């Protein structure tokens, strides 16, 4: 039985048409995967269904009746429950209080607490209700967000890329929860850009590309290649990618970065990096992998000098940079690509031009502080990262996430000679095109002698790019090996 | 479910011509709304409009408008500097008073500085004092997170009390009124024809502010400051120092406003020296969308309101509160236009049941 049907949905934004006459239907008792690369319109579609966006054209039917979903509250009343990709929680309250707040219940109500306990048992989750949210890891927060959704008695559950920010164990838990919901007759919409997950869990799959629906098919009747082609419009060669061999002679190269006995705290004052030491050589890519939130982000932030160091030492190109600020490190030829593109990596209300020059003001201004940038150079580097050069006057807020990451790449890698790249989850949540661009740029810079330290949650990406791999757990490096010595199955076990 | 839905949508960026047109419409609309209020006071609205224009742009009233334009315009730039950086200095009037007091004090100690130099001193002394006064709030903001909107406003009342104390106390002149001795002759800016030479200072200062905001590193750093601390750390700016610099510069312009006004118009201080040019400057800042290149135009409108309020009070016996009300109406209309140039509201009629029977 059809739970939800969309007909001819059109949603326009100032510079794009995000959804172009999309038809879609969701049945009870199925997991329906919505697949597409970034910017394909997946999240827009979710926002339409959950009442965040109003539509420009088209019709929505719920249980066969035409409805107008004009607010998230409307959607909830109709039994549409969505699990947000980024948990929306009040940091200073406990988990229980957050749940009570979201569901408009009293946290002291015993009945309410029993309900929560039942749901936790039924879905086999591990959640500590009395902890304050700021004490939780990203995975734990994701769990709370899911619990919040499960407590609402819905008919339709929407999971928006639930697996993108959590560790492997939580990923399995989330897939299991979706299965359980389906078995109890609910309709489950699963948004993802990972093809493998579609085969693992979904019954049907709809592929979106550039705002248009390509097809809806039964998962049992579709091949992986077919899905990839639908997503990217041509055959895309997945995995088993080659990369040039660089590990020879590595012992002879100079050491450019030394991290010594480093201790770093996060924003809520918890120690995230403990007694960590490692070296990076010239022309070497070091990939850091580990369970989510093991201190990778804080480590890279400390090296890029945007986070305070508790104790320890960082030496870069023979210079002690432990107490320097990010602009000083930048002048040494360091690129830093932060994981949070929107609130750290770019100034959203400023134009692309201003974003391109803001990290290199020493180059683009005279001694007296007047601008002396050349628009030709800025337009040129935009073209090099595959953007149109006429966007220089557009505010960054009007660009998509993938475009903003390209602007960041242009700024960080092309404004000056770069000797060291620090990249925190540089490809996370990005489409294949941008991911490929980042990989290509990294490898070509590495071949010119640039060193790269990056983190990723994608084990294939780390294996593909890195010359050396480090596994970081709980703020410490527990495993380190050159690429040719890595035992992949051992590595997978470590991360499980 | 109700069949009518009101939806707020973001607009594409409007061309500048349309924006200017809408702003002018907003100004006219606010004047129109004033009509019934004026009529309620028993005054012919047509006469009111006539004096609104005659009272500010007629040959005899225009010098008065220019006299008001200079402090309003400098306070407007002061507001633009801080607002652009996401800091809310709303105590321009306090910095204005302190700038004038400091000038009067130093000038009374060294009254014989020769003219071209003394005119420069007017600007520098006023600016330094106003800047230092505002810097107090900047330091409090940078190091203790004290909200600068609150502290700058509070410091306005402190400044106003100091002014009263000096006028009634140690600086009281022998005449007997609560007013101070006059500013030494050398420090009084001369007129060129009917208007004051301070207009030249305004032009230069406006150009310098524009240069700083639009063409220099400091201007860009200010805009980044408005984006939040994480971007600031990423770019590697000295966050606290930047707050202090911006607050100093903002106070600098407001301080100059006070010193200049003392020098070319007031000549001595009295409790009524505070004319709330600062608040008008804030309205003017929003009117020109925080763009220095339009600040003189928007300030001219506010200054015109000042001078027509004098004229109307004298000729029509309209209380000066009427122009205050008009200022308020103006601000509301401008903010509404700002909203409607960014968003549009759609009202939709929807028949929810029309196609419900289709599967």
**pLDDT of B211 over the 90 cut:** yes
How high does pLDDT run on average in chain B? 88
- Per-residue burial over A243-266, b if 16 or more Cβ lie within 10 Å, else e, is beebeeeeeeeeebbbbbebbbbb
Residue numbers in B near A337 (CB within 8 A): none
Confidence label for A247 from pLDDT (cuts 50, 70 and 90): very low
Q: In terms of residue numbers, what domain contains B148?
A: 71-289
User: What residue in B sits closest to A364 (Cα-Cα)?
Assistant: B217
Task: Round to whole Å and give the CA distance between A235 and A492.
Answer: 28
The answer to whether residue B42 sits within a structural domain is no
Determine contact, residues A48/A189, Cβ cutoff 8 Å.
no
B10 touches chain A (CB under 8 A): yes
Q: Of residues A405 and B177, which shows the higher confidence score?
A: A405
- Residue from A256, A330, A286 nearest A452 by CA: A286
Tokens of B346: 């759609």
User: What residue in A sits closest to B9 (Cα-Cα)?
Assistant: A54
Confidence label for A235 from pLDDT (cuts 50, 70 and 90): very low
Percent of chain A with pLDDT over 90: 46
pLDDT at A241: 39
Tokens of B257: 């406003």
Task: Map out the domains of chain A as residue ranges.
Answer: 2-232, 250-495
How high does pLDDT run on average in chain A? 87
A334-337 and A212-218 beta bridge pairing: unpaired
A64 to B356: CB separation less than 8 angstroms, yes or no: yes
pLDDT at A86: 75
Residue numbers in B near A349 (CB within 8 A): 223, 226-227
Residue A254 DSSP class = P
Ramachandran quadrant class, A99 (left: phi over 0; alpha: psi -120 to 50; beta: rest): alpha
- Per-residue burial over A373-386, b if 16 or more Cβ lie within 10 Å, else e, is beeeebbebbebbe
CATH of A250-495, one of 3.90.550.10, 1.10.40.30, 3.40.50.300, 3.40.1190.10: 3.40.50.300
User: A228 to chain B, minimum CA–CA distance in Å?
Assistant: 32
A54 to B215: CB separation less than 8 angstroms, yes or no: no
Q: How many domains does chain B have?
A: 1
Tokens of A340: 């949070």
**pLDDT of A169 over the 80 cut:** no
Chain B interface, best mutation among A16, A266, A344, by max B CB count within 10 A: A344
Confidence label for B349 from pLDDT (cuts 50, 70 and 90): low
pLDDT at B353: 44
B352 to A66: CB separation less than 8 angstroms, yes or no: yes
Task: Round to whole Å and give the CA distance between A371 and B288.
Answer: 24
User: What residue in B sits closest to A67 (Cα-Cα)?
Assistant: B352
Tokens of A113: 């607490």
Confidence label for B12 from pLDDT (cuts 50, 70 and 90): low
Mean pLDDT, to the nearest integer, of B95-102? 97
- Residue from A281, A409, A283 nearest A341 by CA: A409
Highest mean pLDDT among A148-162, B205-219, B305-319: B205-219
Q: Say what the ipTM of the complex is.
A: 0.81
Task: Round to whole Å and give the CA distance between A273 and A469.
Answer: 18
The answer to whether residue B50 sits within a structural domain is no
pLDDT of A304-322, one tens digit each?
Answer: 999 999 999 999 999 999 9
A285-289 and A451-455 beta bridge pairing: parallel
A2-13 and A57-62 beta bridge pairing: antiparallel
The answer to whether residue B220 sits within a structural domain is yes
The answer to whether residue B312 sits within a structural domain is no
pLDDT of B77-88, one tens digit each?
Answer: 999 999 999 999
Determine contact, residues A182/A10, Cβ cutoff 8 Å.
no
A306 to B215: CB separation less than 8 angstroms, yes or no: no
pLDDT at A425: 92
| Among the ranges given (B142-146, B162-166, B325-329, B345-349), the one the predictor scored with the smallest mean pLDDT | B345-349
Tokens of B343: 């968003």
- Per-residue burial over B196-228, b if 16 or more Cβ lie within 10 Å, else e, is bebbebbeebbeebbebbeebbbbbbbbbbbbe
Confidence label for B354 from pLDDT (cuts 50, 70 and 90): very low
Confidence label for A496 from pLDDT (cuts 50, 70 and 90): low
Mean pLDDT, to the nearest integer, of A388-395? 88
Confidence label for A233 from pLDDT (cuts 50, 70 and 90): low
pLDDT at A239: 38
pLDDT at B356: 37
DSSP codes, B14-74: PPHHHHHHHHHHHHHHHHHHHHHHHHHTT--HHHHHHHHHHHHHSTTTHHHHHHHHHHHHH
A64 to B234: CB separation less than 8 angstroms, yes or no: no
Radius of gyration of chain A (CA): 24
**pLDDT of A158 over the 90 cut:** yes
Determine contact, residues A482/A467, Cβ cutoff 8 Å.
yes
User: B41 to chain A, minimum CA–CA distance in Å?
Assistant: 46
Cα end-to-end span (Å), chain B: 21
pLDDT at B255: 97
| Among the ranges given (A91-100, A240-249, A479-488), the one the predictor scored with the smallest mean pLDDT | A240-249
Collapse the DSSP code of A71 into the 3-class scheme (helix H, G, I; strand E, B; otherwise coil) and give the result.
Answer: coil
Show contacts of B312-317: CB within 8 Å, 24+ apart. B312/B48, B312/B51, B312/B52, B312/B55, B315/B51, B315/B55, B316/B43, B316/B47, B316/B48, B316/B51
B226 to A349: CB separation less than 8 angstroms, yes or no: yes
**B277-287 and B239-261 helices, crossing angle to 10°:** 120
**pLDDT of A234 over the 70 cut:** no
Confidence label for B215 from pLDDT (cuts 50, 70 and 90): very high
Domain A2-232 has CATH 3.40.50.300: yes
Task: Round to whole Å and give the CA distance between A120 and B184.
Answer: 82
Confidence label for B311 from pLDDT (cuts 50, 70 and 90): confident
Residue A293 DSSP class = T
pLDDT at B1: 47
- Residue from B358, B352, B331, B282 nearest B29 by CA: B331
Domains A2-232 and A250-495 are alike in CATH topology? yes
Task: Round to whole Å and give the CA distance between A275 and B308.
Answer: 72
Distances B216 to A342, A372, B209, B222 between C-alpha atoms, Å? 25, 9, 10, 10
């Amino acid at each position: 039985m059809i739970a939800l049907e969309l007909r001819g949905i059109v949603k326009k934004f100032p510079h794009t048409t995000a959804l172009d006459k999309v038809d879609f239907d969701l049945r009870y008792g199925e997991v329906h995967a919505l697949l597409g690369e970034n910017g394909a319109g997946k999240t827009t579609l979710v926002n339409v269904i959950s009442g965040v966006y109003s539509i420009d054209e088209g019709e929505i039917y719920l249980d066969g009746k035409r409805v107008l979903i004009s607010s998230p509250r409307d959607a909830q009343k109709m039994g549409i429950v969505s699990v947000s990709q980024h948990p929306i929680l009040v940091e200073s309250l406990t988990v229980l209080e957050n749940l009570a707040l979201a569901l408009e219940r009293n946290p002291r109500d015993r009945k309410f607490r029993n309900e929560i306990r039942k749901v936790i048992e039924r879905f086999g989750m591990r959640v500590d209700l009395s902890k304050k949210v700021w004490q939780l890891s990203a995975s734990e927060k994701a769990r709370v967000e899911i619990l919040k959704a499960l407590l609402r008695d819905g008919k339709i559950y929407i999971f928006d890329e639930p697996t993108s920010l959590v560790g492997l164990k939580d990923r399995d838990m989330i897939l299991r929860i979706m299965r359980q919901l389906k078995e109890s007759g609910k309709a489950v919409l699963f948004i993802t850009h990972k093809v493998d997950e579609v085969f693992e869990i979904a019954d049907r799959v709809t592929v979106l590309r550039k705002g248009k629906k390509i097809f809806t098919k039964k998962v049992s009747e579709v091949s992986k290649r077919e899905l990839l082609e639908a997503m990217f419009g041509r055959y895309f060669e997945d995995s088993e990618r080659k990369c040039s061999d660089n590990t020879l002679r590595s012992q002879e190269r100079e050491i450019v970065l030394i991290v010594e006995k480093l201790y770093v705290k996060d924003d809520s004052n918890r120690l995230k990096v403990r007694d960590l030491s490692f070296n990076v050589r010239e022309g070497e890519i070091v990939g850091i992998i580990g369970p989510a939130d093991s201190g990778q982000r804080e480590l890279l932030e400390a090296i890029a000098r945007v986070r305070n160091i508790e104790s320890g030492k960082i030496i870069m190109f023979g210079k002690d940079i432990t107490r320097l600020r990010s602009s000083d490190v930048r002048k040494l030829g360091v690129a830093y690509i932060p994981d949070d593109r929107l609130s750290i990596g770019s100034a959203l209300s400023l134009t692309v031009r201003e974003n391109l020059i803001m990290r290199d003001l020493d180059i683009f201004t005279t001694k007296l502080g007047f601008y002396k940038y050349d628009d030709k150079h800025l337009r040129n580097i935009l073209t090099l990262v595959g953007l149109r050069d006429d966007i220089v006057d557009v505010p960054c807020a009007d660009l998509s996430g993938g475009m903003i990451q390209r602007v960041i790449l242009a700024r960080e890698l092309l404004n000056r000679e770069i000797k060291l790249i620090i990249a925190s989850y540089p490809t996370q949540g990005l489409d294949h095109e941008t991911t490929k661009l980042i990989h290509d740029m990294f490898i070509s810079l590495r071949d010119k002698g640039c060193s790269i330290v990056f983190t990723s949650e994608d084990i294939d990406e780390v294996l593909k790019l890195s010359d050396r791999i480090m596994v970081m757990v709980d703020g410490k490096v527990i495993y380190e090996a050159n690429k040719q010595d890595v035992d992949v199955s051992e590595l997978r076990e470590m991360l499980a | 479910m109700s069949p009518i839905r009101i939806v707020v949508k973001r607009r594409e960026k409007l061309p500048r011509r349309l924006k200017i047109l809408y702003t002018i419409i907003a100004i006219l609309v606010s004047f129109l709304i004033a009509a019934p209020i004026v009529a309620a006071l028993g005054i012919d609205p047509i006469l009111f409009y006539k004096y609104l224009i005659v009272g500010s742009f007629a040959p005899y009233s225009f010098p008065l408008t220019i006299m008001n334009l200079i402090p309003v315009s400098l306070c407007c730039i002061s507001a633009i500097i801080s607002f652009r950086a996401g800091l809310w200095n709303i105590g321009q009037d306090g910095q204005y008073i302190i700038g004038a007091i400091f000038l009067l004090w130093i000038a009374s100690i060294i009254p014989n500085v020769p003219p071209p130099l003394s005119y420069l001193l007017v600007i520098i002394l006023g600016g330094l004092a106003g800047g230092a006064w505002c810097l107090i709030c900047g330091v409090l903001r940078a190091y203790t997170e004290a909200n600068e909107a609150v502290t700058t406003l509070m410091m306005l009342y402190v400044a106003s009390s100091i002014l009263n104390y000096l006028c009634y106390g140690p600086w009281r002149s022998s005449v007997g009124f609560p007013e101070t001795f006059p500013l030494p002759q050398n420090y009084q800016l001369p007129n060129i024809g009917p208007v004051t030479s301070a207009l030249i200072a305004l032009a230069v200062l406006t150009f310098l502010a524009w240069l700083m905001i639009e063409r220099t590193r400091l201007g860009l750093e200010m805009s980044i400051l408005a984006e939040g601390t994480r971007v600031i750390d990423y770019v590697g700016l000295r966050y606290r120092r930047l707050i202090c610099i911006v607050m100093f510069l903002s106070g600098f312009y407001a301080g100059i406003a006070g010193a200049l006004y003392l020098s070319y118009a007031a000549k001595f201080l009295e409790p009524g020296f505070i004319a709330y040019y600062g608040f008008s400057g804030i309205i003017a800042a929003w009117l020109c969308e925080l763009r220095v290149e339009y600040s003189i135009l928007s300030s001219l409108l506010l200054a015109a309101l000042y001078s027509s309020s004098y004229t109307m009070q004298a000729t029509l016996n309209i209380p000066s509160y009427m122009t205050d009300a008009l200022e308020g109406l103006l601000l509301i209309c401008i903010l509404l236009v700002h909203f409607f140039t960014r968003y549009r509201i759609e009202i939709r009629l929807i028949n929810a049941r029309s196609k419900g029977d289709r599967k």
